[in-house]
Amino acid sequence: METSAQLDKFDLLKTFFGYDKFLPNQEEIINNVLAQKDTIAIMPTGGGKSLCFQLPALALEGTAIVISPLIALMKDQVDALKANGISAAFFNSSQPYDKQQQILKELQDESLKLLYVAPESLPQVNFILKSIKISLFAVDEAHCISSWGHDFRPAYTQLNSLKKQFSQVPIIALTATADRPTRVDIATQLTIPDAKTFIASFDRPNLYLDVRPGQNRNKQILNFLAKRGTQSGIIYCLSKKSTEKLAATLNSKGHKAQAYHAGLTSEERSNIQDNFLNDQTPIIVATIAFGMGIDKSNVRWVIHYNLPKNIEGYYQEIGRSGRDGLNAHTLLFYSLADVIMLRKFAEGTETETYQLAKLERMQQYAEALSCRRKALLGYFGEHITEDCGNCDICKTPPKYFDGTLIAQKICSAVARLQEQEALGMVLDVLRGAQNAQVFDKGYQNIKTFGAAKDISWRDLQQYAIQLLNQGVLQIYFHENGRLLLTPLAKKVLFEEKKVRLANIIQEVEKVKTER
């Protein structure tokens, strides 16, 4: 039997948003918010986060305050709500004084169901918030509150007083950044220790994951396009110049392509976007500036001309294809020259160590010799046991040997080091290295010291990377990049789960020559 609250919920979904059913996790999240409980919602881009606070905003009494760092997107979101007959507004520093005053008045009059506010502008509306009924606070892109990440926004730190000031108002924090440290940090910073956390699956099974060496890229792309007619696709490049060069090359070969980057005027950019959305221009060659807020369902392929600087970016960009659920092909070109260039970009920045660690993980993904989806999902903390059958490695697997014993040794060393050490030290311990760092910490006395001394450093390192890619190990990026055991590692250690490894040196050579 349905309660009236459930009916209301579905009514709202249909009437205001035009949908018949919820996407995965939306309903559970909405129920929690409607029960006025604090919530942390982790969903991949395109997973439908907005509805999780927009619908409760309509169902609950009062005004919902949405804190969002993306000033550029606020207008679009508010326009979309208004078009659906919902009274909404946004407030940020880009607006003229008169407009701001008008919105403050609407807020005071309690005539808004939703108000989007930039975190920097929150102090300007705060005095009104104290005098009106607030239905909920939604903290969008909540990972910006974590000082570990590169998206850190200082203005987000003031949100730590929301709960104190408005103890009766439920908070919903939303993000697509799933790693556990970030999640914990969000709960701590927002002082919502009892928040219920919902994590939607990041799996997009319809995306084919393909990685190829970045040689003769233009030729490879032309071959790729030859089979794809006028399908829509996006090619991501690192620089403005290369987007323009590649677009010109494609056009000269009879493909309709346009370059898109931050150097164009906003008018030019919105023209290009429109052409892409209406299928006038099937191919966009873009820097990563392209795609934020783009919602085109039939993008059939995404190519990364250059290596992305981290897996989060890569995942978000490939995620712009196949939103309709039909098959899409994603192709990543991998070259060491790109790695070197990206390293240079990171050097000397405030978060250099963190960025370099993320880049290294990206590189390891590109070099993976086991199912790519396993690697990708493992990175986001989702551990699948079966290979996907829809990636290049699953299609053409390398030769594997039974690496269970090696895997057990590596996992056991990580465990004996209390998950406190990064890869280098773990390998030193396994190989019985006699160096100062090892002796300083007394690691020569632990049980796995020297347990893999018969394996060369390079092989052992590669095996450990394979365990990372198989989701058996994980890197804790927020500290020294120490290695952590995942639930799969526990199966390897205690349940005799078999692990397959590939003989790297041979395979890498094979990959270089054949793929």
Query: Could you list the residues that contact ligand ADP (CB under 6 A)?
Result: 19, 22-23, 26, 43, 45-51, 295
CB of 19 to ligand ADP, least distance (A): 4
Give the residue from 195, 70, 200, 76 showing the smallest Cα distance to 136: 195
Give yes or no for residue 394 binding Zn ion (CB under 5 A).
yes
Closer residue to Zn ion in complex, CB, 92/390 = 390
| Stretch 101-140: interaction string toward Zn ion, x if CB under 5 A | ----------------------------------------
Residue number with CB closer to ligand ADP (26 or 310): 26
Closest CA to 369 of 168, 515, 180: 515
Look at residues 233, 167, 171 and name the one whose alpha carbon lies nearest to residue 196. Answer: 171
Cα separation, 242 vs 381, in Å, equals: 34
Residue linked to tokens 């009059």: 109
Q: Tell me if 384 contacts Zn ion by CB under 5 A.
A: no
Return d(Cα 224, Cα 126) in angstroms, integer: 54
The residues facing 257 across adjacent strands are 283
Check: CB of residue 54 under 8 Å from CB of residue 46: no
- For residue 484, which of 360, 379, 406 has the smallest C-alpha distance? 379
Between β-strands 39-42 and 196-199, what pairing exists: parallel, antiparallel or unpaired? Answer: parallel
Q: CB under 5 to 8 A by kind: which of Zn ion, ligand ADP, none does 23 bind? A: ligand ADP
Among the listed ranges 101-109, 195-203, 341-349, 372-380, the one in contact with Zn ion (CB under 5 A) is 372-380
User: If you ran DSSP here, which 8-state letter would residue 289 be given?
Assistant: T
- Provide the 10 A C-beta neighbour count for residue 59: 17
- For residues 144 and 155, what is the distance between their CA atoms, to the nearest angstrom? 9
The yes or no reply on residue 388 touching Zn ion (CB under 5 A) is yes
Q: Which is nearer to ligand ADP, 48 or 69 (CB)?
A: 48
Nearer to ligand ADP, 50 or 275 (CB): 50
Q: Which is nearer to ligand ADP, 43 or 406 (CB)?
A: 43
In the block, tokens 């493992």 appear at 378
Q: Among residues 27 and 210, whose Cβ is nearest to ligand ADP?
A: 27
Please choose which of ligand ADP, Zn ion, none residue 482 contacts, taking the beta carbon within 5 to 8 angstroms, the exact cut-off set by kind: none
For residues 51 and 362, which CB has a smaller minimum distance to ligand ADP in the complex? Answer: 51
Task: Choose the contact partner of 86 out of ligand ADP, Zn ion, none; CB within 5 to 8 A by kind.
Answer: none
Question: Cα(492)–Cα(482) distance, rounded to whole angstroms?
Answer: 19
Binding residue for Zn ion (CB under 5 A) from 371, 410, 451, 452? Answer: 371
When asked if residue 368 is in the footprint of Zn ion (CB under 5 A), the reply is no
DSSP state of 313: H
From the list ligand ADP, Zn ion, none, partner contacted by residue 47 (C-beta under 5 to 8 A by kind): ligand ADP
- In the structure encoding, which two tokens stand for residue 120, read together? 């920097």
Cβ proximity of 56 and 134 under 8 Å: no
Binding to Zn ion, residues 52-111 (CB under 5 A):
none
- Closest distance of CB 49 from ligand ADP, Å: 3
Whether the CB-CB separation of 94 and 71 falls below 8 Å is answered with: yes
371 binds, among ligand ADP, Zn ion, none (CB under 5 to 8 A by kind): Zn ion
Interface map 315-354 toward Zn ion (x if CB under 5 A): ----------------------------------------
State which residue, 48 or 481, has the beta carbon closest to ligand ADP: 48
Beta strands in 269-415 (DSSP E): 283-286, 299-304, 328-334, 400-402
Structure tokens at 229: 């007619």
Find which of Zn ion, ligand ADP, none residue 391 binds, CB within 5 to 8 Å per kind: Zn ion
Q: Which residues bind Zn ion (CB under 5 A)?
A: 371, 373, 387-388, 391, 394
